[in-house]
Amino acid sequence: MPTILDAITSRSSKRAYLPKPIPKEIQEKILNAASMTPSGANMQPWNVYAISNKEVLTNIGDAIIAKMNEGVENDQFIQYYPVNWVNPYKKRRITTGAGLYTLMEVDRKDNDTRVKMWHDNFRWFGAQTVFFVFTDKANIEGAQGALIDCGAYMQTIMLAAQEFAIDSCPQASTTEFGKVVAEVLNIPDNLALLYSVVLGYADNNAKINTYQPERVSLEDSVTFID
């Protein structure tokens, strides 16, 4: 039986899926497990739209790509990435992106393929289910705790999914177009999109799914005070 450590270390973001739907009862099991995520004051600030309807997913993707094609950089509730990238984070971001393009043999100057790869986010990498995680705007007005809680919730979703041989890819690409998602879904005004998680059965023959970016060592990320 896989241990919790096995599940944590074997998870990686998958970016190509088989066209195989996830049964509703499995989605419910994953979401029930995720509902056990701890949160400050047991606030449980997540509000999830679990979407497997092909037309709705296509409409969201179309709307985001149309917005991007208008030259709009983002239409968002929250700013996910740093406004000013500093090292070592900037270097890690560049290394991780370059590693993926090198694996896929995409030239640095091949902008069309790069754009298409980014648009694949909004075609959900071929997956049939996407969980869109919102929170109440009131939770993040002048406070960030709900973001911490919803981040933990994201990881619980992804780990619980593995129990059912379901892989995932978290997405801040949708965060950047959160208002577009909200408009297509016609969600209540009080909700803000934080992120989405693509879920599905990974295509194990897809080269892109072999990508496993490195992690920094403990020396570079942990300070022990014994």
In the complex, the residues that contact ligand FMN under the rule CB under 6 A are 12-13, 15, 96, 121, 169-173, 195, 212-213
Q: How near is the Cβ of 25 to ligand FMN at its closest, in Å?
A: 26
Residue 113 has which token pair?
């393929």
* CB closer to ligand FMN out of 32 and 212: 212
CB atoms within 10 A of CB 92: 15
Q: Which is nearer to ligand FMN, 15 or 191 (CB)?
A: 15
Burial category of 108 from C-beta neighbours within 10 Å (exposed 0-12, middle 13-18, buried 19 and up): exposed
The secondary structure element, H or E, covering residue 4 is: helix 4-10
By beta-carbon proximity to ligand FMN, the closer residue of 49 and 125 is 125
Q: 197 with 158: CB under 8 angstroms?
A: yes
Residue 37 beta carbon to ligand FMN: minimum distance, rounded to whole angstroms: 15
For the bound state, the minimum distance from the C-beta of residue 172 to ligand FMN, rounded and expressed in Å, comes to 4
Nearest approach, Cβ of residue 154 and ligand FMN (Å) = 7
**Complex with ligand FMN: residue 100 or 185, whichever CB lies closer:** 100
β strands within 34-105, DSSP E = 47-51
What DSSP string runs through 110-157? -HHHHHHHHHGGGGGGG-SEEEEEEEEGGGGSS--HHHHHHHHHHHHH
**Which CB, 23 or 216, lies closer to ligand FMN?**
216
E-strand ranges in the chain read 47-51, 129-136, 167-171, 191-200
* Nearer CB in complex with ligand FMN: 169/199: 169
How near is the Cβ of 213 to ligand FMN at its closest, in Å? 5
Rg of the chain over all Cα atoms, to the nearest angstrom: 18
Least separation in angstroms between residue 155's CB and ligand FMN is: 8
Taking the C-alpha atoms of residue 151 and residue 76, their distance in angstroms, rounded to an integer, is 17
| CA distance readout (Å), 169 to 33, 85, 163, 198, 199 | 18, 23, 16, 5, 7
